[in-house]
Amino acid sequence: MHFNIKTLLIALVAVPAALGTINGKCSSGNGVCVKTSDCTKAGGTYVDNKCPNDPKNVKCCNKTKCVTSDGLTGTCKFTSDCNGTSYSGVCPGGKNFKCCVTSNKKTNNNNNNKKTKVTADKVIKYAKNFIGNPYVWGGNSLTKGCDCSGFVKLIFKKFGIELPRVSADQSNAGTKVTNNIDKAKAGDLLFYCTDGKVTHVTLYEGNYKIVHAANSKRGIVEDNIKNSSYYKKPCKIRRIL
């Protein structure tokens, strides 16, 4: 009987942990349930009694203003509640709680005149200047090396358009296009998935051609997607321009 009672006590103590909602939604509002230390470290503020099943050091954390590494301002929200673009790395909580930004474009308050219109032709022409340069995983240089998402980010940044850094986040930028290559227009971003997850992004030139940072062996290249069963079947298409 002693063994059974001990086992029962252990089981009862373990139950609250199983019911925990760390990194889950608070019972109300836009917050996330995290440790108070993580909330404070991320610049958030926490309130009581909205994460009842968690330990005492877990509270509902809110961060009403977040600023991305590119200087864009948003609000920390769950990606399912974001009507804009979600950016990683600036909010507390798990991978589904990110900085929600409703605009991908920076404004220039020092210039009251309208900027020259950004066209797909200009973007593509600029991108093709870097064909032949190296691919570097995590790289952020169009000349010394970059990866696929770094490439498109840097290309659009040249024209004052800010995109998230990683391809998974970029796949939510701009507006959705019917997932059919014949519906794509020059300047669109074509995304490719592995096991349902976005793993690659390319810039569509039109006429079934793409320019992208392919891999470490090929570098930045131009491809005809008609010659590839993989590239002619993107899993997502987003229109940025």
The pLDDT tens digits of the residues spanning 198-217 come to 999 999 999 999 999 999 99
The answer to whether residue 1 scores a pLDDT higher than 60 is no
Q: Which of 208, 137, 135, 196 minimizes the C-alpha distance to 168?
A: 196
Residue 85: the pLDDT is: 87
154-176 confidence digits (pLDDT tens)? 999 999 999 999 999 999 999 99
Rounded CA separation 224/234 (Å): 14
Q: What pLDDT, on the 0 to 100 scale, is given for residue 7?
A: 47
Tell me what pLDDT residue 50 has.
84
Q: What is the pLDDT of residue 112?
A: 38
pLDDT at 180 over 80: yes
The answer for residues whose C-beta is within 8 angstroms of residue 135's C-beta and 6 or more apart is: 145, 146, 147, 213, 214, 215, 216, 217, 218, 219, 220
Query: In the predicted model, what is the mean pLDDT of residues 226-235?
Result: 90
The model's confidence at residue 234, banded by pLDDT at 50, 70 and 90, is very high
| Strand bridging mode 85-87 / 175-176 | unpaired
Average pLDDT over residues 77-85: 87
Residue 64 per-residue DSSP state: S
* pLDDT on residue 6: 47
More confident residue, 152 or 42: 152
Q: What is the pLDDT of residue 15?
A: 37
Contact 50, 31 (CB under 8 A): yes
CA distances from 204 to 157, 181, 182, 231, 237 (A): 17, 10, 11, 11, 10
The CA distance from 66 to 101, in Å, is 9
Is the pLDDT at 147 greater than 90, yes or no? yes
Average pLDDT, the chain: 84
pLDDT tier for residue 105 given thresholds of 50, 70 and 90: low
Calculate mean pLDDT across residues 29-37: 85
Tokens standing for residue 17:
């942990």
Arithmetic mean of pLDDT, 125-133: 96
Residue among 40, 46, 175, 15 nearest 102 (CA): 175
What pLDDT band is residue 233 in, cutting at 50, 70 and 90? Answer: very high
Considering the four listed CATH numbers 3.90.1720.10, 3.40.50.11260, 3.40.190.10, 3.40.50.300, the one that applies to the domain covering 120-239 is: 3.90.1720.10
CB within 8 A of 14, min separation 6: which ones?
none
pLDDT at 54: 72
pLDDT for res 143: 93
Sign, CA dihedral 69-75-78-82, equals negative
Would you list the domain boundaries of the chain?
A: 22-101, 120-239
Q: Is the pLDDT of residue 136 over 90?
A: yes
* Distance (Å, whole) CA 90 – CA 237: 26
Q: What is the DSSP string of 27-51?
A: SSSS-EEEEHHHHHHTT-EEESSS-
